[in-house]
Structure 1
Amino acid sequence: MKFWTLFSSLICFLILLILPQVYGGDIVHEDDKAPKQPGCDNSFVLVKVPTWVDGFEDVEYVGVGARFGPTLESKEKHANRTKLTLADPPDCCSPPRNKLTGEAILVYRGNCSFTTKANNAEDAGASAILIVNNSTELFKMVCETDADTDIRIPAIMLPNDAGATLENLLYNDSSVYLQLYSPKRPAVDVAEVFLWLMALGTILCASYWSAWNAREAAIERDKLSKDASDEMVAASGTGYSGFVDISTGSALLFVVIASGFLVMLYKLMSVWFIDVLVVLFCIGGAEGLQTCLVAFLSSFKWFEHAAVTIVKVPFFGAISCLAMAVSPLCIIFAVVWAVFRREAYAWIGQDILGIALILTVLQIVRVPNLKVGTVLLSCAFLYDIFWVFVSKYLFHESVMIVVARGDNSGEDGIPMLLKIPRMFDPWGGYSVIGFGDILLPGLVIAFSLRYDWLGNKKIRAGYFLWAICAYGFGLLITYVALNLMDGHGQPALLYIVPFTLGTLLTLGKKRRDLKNLWSRGEPDRPCTHVRLHSSQ
């Protein structure tokens, strides 16, 4: 295998492993630490605040509702359009001097409690209170002990920049009207269905590619071993170097290496560090796209000559003419994506590069037997749970989810994710899945298909069909859990690993084939050469 293919593949493998999780954007925020009491037990919901300035539609802001106050309308058509006015005094810590007749009032945070501001605004005749935070973040408004929580007007927190814009408009005597409503996210979005199909399709293609390469290699070894001595067989076996097999030791090191990379991402998360990740992703994506295109085009007779014609290139070594022709296109594609990655349509290029990267790694990096696959997935299972759930108690936030979102980076998440925009979600955003959630189970599923093909097993009598069905069911359960838990981030491997591994181990034991699966990684083939050809 060429040095650059191996080098880029190892980079990609490290990149892919750091984020094995599914993340969903939080719309309803439950918080067990925030105090609750009668009249102050609302969920923290995001609120849409569309505005009209001097009769023309203007900016739509996003705020967060308070623990107290009434429940907001979920549909825009049911929300009343209300005039906005400034509070006097601005903090509304004393009864406003201006008597109101149903207007929404804009006040600033500080000097007294949120419930005091809301009670004063309600007593003055306001229909809603918009409290401007002292930073660009949204703060969860709770009730103090023994507070008067009999508040019948909605209270919304707005970020500092939104409040400053609205205040300037009102100081300039502009007429500002607004609506307050909190639309609900649909139970199932089409994006999640497509993402589920994309993950299964990627593993399916990678498994067949890996199995095909393994069978062709086995046929070549069988041809060489026919009428050959044992020494020649051994020499031919050691000369074959098309793959990188994961060992038990390297599978155990997964937790340490991946955790170190994840903590580094968490601590160094910034604009410049995201740029470094983008460069690495482009290198791996371009290499993966080139490998996939060369393999695909080589299957057509028009490109057979270019695929087998080799030229030597300084520093890169021997490269086929087809690879040389395809490489510039792949590099251009990756660079164009990097330049326009903040555009709304950039997810298409990111998914293409990501899928090509996963396909390439899955056909180069292999699990040699079920023992290594079990160790690898078990380590990933614990890694996923720890960095999504347990890390909250050590770092006061979920490290995995913070890194996946790209907090403090100025980016909409890091690029090591497959993503699809939510098509029917009023809040927009993306449904995403970490590369690791496809790659890690995919290594074991690809192994199961190689095992089936080498043993000339029929589809139902083999292991691949049941393994990929178990993976699909586990991923489906992940999305169900994601929706049942109000969009909070979920570790997909928590659900995928038990289904996938449990299915393979149970079937292997039931069929009395677990010993071969566990240690050898190959079925018994008494007449290997004939059987391999008969399965084609």
Structure 2
Amino acid sequence: MDFKGDFWVLLLLLISILCVVNGGDIVHDDDSAPKRPGCDNNFVLVKVQTWVDGNEGKEYVGVGARFGTLMESKEKHANQTRLSLSDPLDCCTKPKNKLIGDVVMVHRGNCTFTTKANIAQAAGATAVLVINNHKELYKMVCDPNEENLHITIPAVMLPKDAGASLEGSINSGSKVAVQLYSPERPLVDTAEVFLWLMAVGTILCASYWSAWSAKEAAIEHEKLLKDAPDDFLNVENEGGSGVVDINTTSAVLFVVIASCFLVVLYKLMSFWFVEILVVLFCIGGVEGLQTCLVALLSRRFKQAGELFIKVPFFGAVSYLTLAISPFCIAFAVVWAVYRHISFAWIGQDILGIALIITVLQIVRIPNLKVGTVLLSCAFLYDIFWVFVSKKLFHESVMIVVARGDRSGEDGIPMLLKIPRMFDPWGGYSIIGFGDILLPGLLIAFSLRYDWAAKKNLRAGYFLWSIIAYGSGLLITYVALNLMDGHGQPALLYIVPFTLGTILTLGTKRGELNNLWTKGEPERVCPHIQHTQ
């Protein structure tokens, strides 16, 4: 394998480690605490706007409890109320300080959540903020044996860092006030709709480019066969196409090495480590953007694309590539410098999409057997690092890496992201590169097979596989909303849809053997047919 092939395989590994659709990380024991009258509220996110000495401060996000009264949904109807600390801080016994009319902040632990709420209510508090002892949110439920609950004040859980900040302000002598309300989220997140379109559109573009390149290579190959039929074996063994075929061994190793790399990211996650990933992402993004732009512009400026100049280290480079490169480098550098501003997601998505399309054009699976091994391993990989890793590391490794915890950064760049512009909670909808690239390898293969077999869309595999991918991704977003926003392993839904569709159609049409082993339809060489 040449240097460029090695580079793209390593890049494929790097950008495919994240296979997760985002969501908040909320821990709960709700399954062991059945709903009952007085403890049957729906869990809702709660905005906690703060004021310190009369000046508007930070806004925190908490989660409402199963018990207590419901939150106001509109900001204009929510009251601004003084915040006090309970004494004792756990609020497991009657407070020594006066809390009448205040929102009281208490620490988690030493007694049940309902005990804290009842004591705060008896002391005259208007709401209770429970500070978690971890950075995640926790869904406050009732004890399984509790009956006849009559809690008439709201109860909200805040993460540890929010509590520490508020407690520090109060202890320093500042006057702190809070406003609690829970705005309703839109039924359909427009960001997820656009993200779905971006993911499907990226695979469509990459698949057609891959199939077109394969078609042109096949035409060129046939010309060579006609001109020199005696050299058939030599032509057949020539590489030089710049395409890297994955085999079953590399498919398994890919997932194993990706797992190791994910653990390294998890263990070494820091500001400087993320900076290194940003540099690597920029290098790949420049190469991807340059490749895509050159491919598009070479149709218009054909002569510039066919004239080459020798450049040290890089070898022969076309004039068109030289003209495009400064723009691509400048684009990546500007994004890297200003990646923390509000609209930097546009640059990240452009670089990411160009990178994915380029990798899908260069790295290919030769047959359905390799595709099945790769996606099956990725399916297990995704489930393990999102769900099973919680038992080993006490938190979801994939989600922690995707969020960029402990790095001081807003996640790592191997993601497509769109801001939730019409969601009062804000934030971003994200999808890992692996959720596009890995299924994309199989879908691009299906289109190459259809074109080689001269199949129309309905009789082929591409149309049904892209519909299956879109359906699998849609089900992922439905699951994300049904699971209270928990991060979901997208390949858990996408792989059965896409792989199952092609395997089922191949079996039904009697073409599974060709798809599985050869990855192309049966052919009869023209010169062999002529001699017979």
**Pairwise same-fold verdict (TM > 0.5):** yes
Alpha-carbon deviation of 1:234? 2.0
1:251 pairs with 2:254: no
2:323 equivalent in structure 1: 325
Amino acid across the alignment from 2:431: I
Alpha-carbon deviation of 1:152? 2.2
Kindly tell me: are residues 307 and 227 of structure 1, through their superposed partners in 2, closer, same or farther at Cα, counting changes over 3 Å? Answer: closer
Matching residue within 160, 163, 167 for 1:160 = 163
Q: Once structures 1 and 2 are overlaid, which stretch shifts more, 427-436 or 39-48? A: 39-48
CA deviations on 1:295-342 (whole Å, 9 max, x unpaired) are 111010xx2222111111111111111112211221121121111222
2:512 equivalent in structure 1: 514
Amino acid across the alignment from 1:121: A
SS at match of 1:179: strand
C-alpha separation in 1, matches of 2:165 and 2:358: 46
C-alpha separation in 1, matches of 2:286 and 2:353: 11
Matching residue within 477, 480, 488 for 2:478 = 480
C-alpha separation in 1, matches of 2:501 and 2:145: 55
Alpha-carbon deviation of 1:417? 0.8
Amino acid across the alignment from 1:123: A
Q: Mapping of 1:219-230 within 5 angstroms? A: 219-230=219-230
Tell me if the contact between 2:28 and 2:138 (Cα under 8 Å) persists in the aligned partners. Answer: no
Alpha-carbon deviation of 1:449? 1.0
Q: Once structures 1 and 2 are overlaid, which stretch shifts more, 72-81 or 10-19? A: 72-81
Amino acid across the alignment from 1:187: L
Tell me if the contact between 1:30 and 1:43 (Cα under 8 Å) persists in the aligned partners. Answer: no
C-alpha separation in 1, matches of 2:111 and 2:446: 64
The size of the alignment, in residue pairs, is 521
CA deviations on 1:106-164 (whole Å, 9 max, x unpaired) are 45667876555433332232212334567876566566797896432223344234314
Q: Once structures 1 and 2 are overlaid, which stretch shifts more, 405-414 or 281-290? A: 405-414
1:281 pairs with 2:281: yes
Tell me if the contact between 1:482 and 1:490 (Cα under 8 Å) persists in the aligned partners. Answer: yes
Alpha-carbon deviation of 1:58? 4.5
Alpha-carbon deviation of 1:211? 0.7
Q: Mapping of 1:36-185 within 5 angstroms? A: 45-52=44-51, 57-66=56-65, 68-85=67-84, 87=86, 95-96=94-95, 99=98, 101-107=100-106, 115-131=114-130, 150-158=150-158, 159-164=162-167, 166-167=169-170, 171-172=173-174, 174=175, 177-185=177-185
C-alpha separation in 2, matches of 1:188 and 1:341: 28
Tell me if the contact between 1:136 and 1:161 (Cα under 8 Å) persists in the aligned partners. Answer: no
C-alpha separation in 2, matches of 1:112 and 1:32: 17
1:210 equivalent in structure 2: 210
Amino acid across the alignment from 2:451: W
1:412 equivalent in structure 2: 410
Alpha-carbon deviation of 1:238? 2.3
Q: CA RMSD in A?
A: 2.9
Alpha-carbon deviation of 1:92? 5.0
C-alpha separation in 2, matches of 1:487 and 1:516: 42
Identity of aligned residues (%): 69
C-alpha separation in 2, matches of 1:84 and 1:383: 46
C-alpha separation in 2, matches of 1:251 and 1:91: 53
Amino acid across the alignment from 1:215: K
Tell me if the contact between 1:30 and 1:44 (Cα under 8 Å) persists in the aligned partners. Answer: no
Amino acid across the alignment from 1:163: L
Tell me if the contact between 1:421 and 1:431 (Cα under 8 Å) persists in the aligned partners. Answer: yes
Kindly tell me: are residues 506 and 67 of structure 1, through their superposed partners in 2, closer, same or farther at Cα, counting changes over 3 Å? Answer: closer
C-alpha separation in 1, matches of 2:97 and 2:357: 66
Alpha-carbon deviation of 1:51? 3.5
Kindly tell me: are residues 119 and 235 of structure 1, through their superposed partners in 2, closer, same or farther at Cα, counting changes over 3 Å? Answer: same
C-alpha separation in 2, matches of 1:340 and 1:319: 30
- Structure 1, gaps ≥5 residues long: 530-536
1:187 equivalent in structure 2: 187
Kindly tell me: are residues 456 and 57 of structure 1, through their superposed partners in 2, closer, same or farther at Cα, counting changes over 3 Å? Answer: same
1:401 equivalent in structure 2: 399
1:343 equivalent in structure 2: 341
1:18 equivalent in structure 2: 17
Alpha-carbon deviation of 1:69? 2.9
CA deviations on 1:204-237 (whole Å, 9 max, x unpaired) are 100111111111111011011014233x122223
Alpha-carbon deviation of 1:349? 0.8
C-alpha separation in 2, matches of 1:147 and 1:111: 17
SS at match of 2:180: coil
> What TM-score, normalized by structure 2, do the two folds share?
0.89
Amino acid across the alignment from 2:272: W
CA deviations on 1:276-306 (whole Å, 9 max, x unpaired) are 2111111111111111111111010xx2222
1:497 equivalent in structure 2: 495
Amino acid across the alignment from 2:521: P
SS at match of 1:23: coil
Kindly tell me: are residues 139 and 205 of structure 1, through their superposed partners in 2, closer, same or farther at Cα, counting changes over 3 Å? Answer: closer
C-alpha separation in 2, matches of 1:459 and 1:394: 46
Alpha-carbon deviation of 1:80? 3.4
- Structure 2, gaps ≥5 residues long: 528-532
Alpha-carbon deviation of 1:523? 1.4
Alpha-carbon deviation of 1:395? 2.0
C-alpha separation in 2, matches of 1:528 and 1:155: 78
Amino acid across the alignment from 1:402: V
Tell me if the contact between 2:210 and 2:360 (Cα under 8 Å) persists in the aligned partners. Answer: yes
Kindly tell me: are residues 49 and 217 of structure 1, through their superposed partners in 2, closer, same or farther at Cα, counting changes over 3 Å? Answer: same
Amino acid across the alignment from 2:252: L
Kindly tell me: are residues 426 and 403 of structure 1, through their superposed partners in 2, closer, same or farther at Cα, counting changes over 3 Å? Answer: same
1:524 equivalent in structure 2: 522
Kindly tell me: are residues 408 and 34 of structure 1, through their superposed partners in 2, closer, same or farther at Cα, counting changes over 3 Å? Answer: farther
Amino acid across the alignment from 2:262: L
Q: Once structures 1 and 2 are overlaid, which stretch shifts more, 289-298 or 152-161? A: 152-161
1:468 pairs with 2:466: yes
Matching residue within 338, 358, 361 for 2:359 = 361
SS at match of 1:423: coil
SS at match of 1:48: strand
Alpha-carbon deviation of 1:10? 2.3
Alpha-carbon deviation of 1:436? 0.9
C-alpha separation in 2, matches of 1:511 and 1:190: 39
SS at match of 1:62: strand
Matching residue within 379, 382, 400 for 1:381 = 379
Tell me if the contact between 1:134 and 1:160 (Cα under 8 Å) persists in the aligned partners. Answer: no
CA deviations on 1:32-84 (whole Å, 9 max, x unpaired) are 48767865666664321224567665542333444543332333344334344
C-alpha separation in 2, matches of 1:461 and 1:112: 65
C-alpha separation in 1, matches of 2:132 and 2:504: 56
Amino acid across the alignment from 1:476: L
2:530 equivalent in structure 1: none
Q: Once structures 1 and 2 are overlaid, which stretch shifts more, 496-505 or 201-210? A: 496-505
Amino acid across the alignment from 1:396: H
Alpha-carbon deviation of 1:192? 0.7
C-alpha separation in 1, matches of 2:232 and 2:48: 73
Kindly tell me: are residues 502 and 107 of structure 1, through their superposed partners in 2, closer, same or farther at Cα, counting changes over 3 Å? Answer: closer
1:266 equivalent in structure 2: 266
